[in-house]
Amino acid sequence: MLASADVHWWYRGRRRIVRAELEALQLPPATRLLDAGCAGGHTLDLLEGFGRPTGIDPDANSVALARSRGHDVTIAALPDLPFDDGTFTACTCLDVLEHLVDDQAALAELARVTVASGALLVTVPAYESLWSEHDEANEHLRRYRPRTLKPVALRAGWSVERLTYFNSLLLAPTAAVRLAGRYRRRRRSAEVSDLDLTPRALNGALEMPLRVEAALLGCGGRLPVGLSLLAVLRR
């Protein structure tokens, strides 16, 4: 994942989606931002355009890479953050909740460190029916739908301002690949992430649908289906 984040179409496309949503929030200047689960710091690069970002990640290699990119990053893990109440105006938590045993506790902790009326942008993988060896290779515990993510957010102290799917145009071919993979996996023991399935030569073409979706979502649009789910939550 760390090696792919600069060039892989999925990471590049997701950053476009996140940028569009952050621009729509119209954050004040000098905003303090947190990226919870910052990995190698590529989202922190993006957040620098909106304020003063801080990152946390439990993985020492990820933290070292993010620091090498010039970012303020601490080794820490949800749901136990080393920050005072109301430290941040906005937070991002991108494809993290599906890894955590207690996703509600994680969202509650993010609410604690966010100012009143502050925002949290969350992305998670969508549809339990798309569970595959990709999820197992990446140590996911669950996939989500609005009906499963929304109640967890509400119980954690957030209001739900916006819910939408994204990565919609690739839903059908990806579903076909994953269904086929259920047959293939019976013939091999190793788990394979989807990140390994697309050659670099296709990155530009595969990122293009996410460019289109970023423009649509940035105008306030919503997508009814998709491989991922995005929520904008308000403290």
The DSSP secondary structure of 168-215, one letter per residue, reads -TTHHHHHHHHHHHHHHGGG--S---GGGSS-GGGHHHHHHHHHHHHH
Backbone angles phi, psi at 2, to 5 degrees: -60, -40
CATH architecture of 9-234: 3-Layer(aba) Sandwich (3.40)
pLDDT at 203: 60
Domain ranges of the chain: 9-234
> Which residues does 177 contact at the CB level (< 8 Å), separation at least 6?
194, 197
**Category of 218 on φ-ψ map: left (φ > 0), alpha (ψ -120 to 50) or beta:** alpha
Give dist(CA 171, CA 103) in Å, integer. Answer: 25
pLDDT by 10s per residue, the chain, length 235: 555 666 678 889 999 999 999 999 999 988 999 999 999 999 999 999 999 999 999 999 999 999 999 999 999 999 999 999 999 999 999 999 999 999 999 999 999 999 999 999 999 999 999 998 888 988 999 999 999 999 999 999 999 999 999 999 888 877 777 676 665 655 555 555 555 556 565 666 788 999 999 999 999 999 999 999 999 999 9
pLDDT at 5: 63
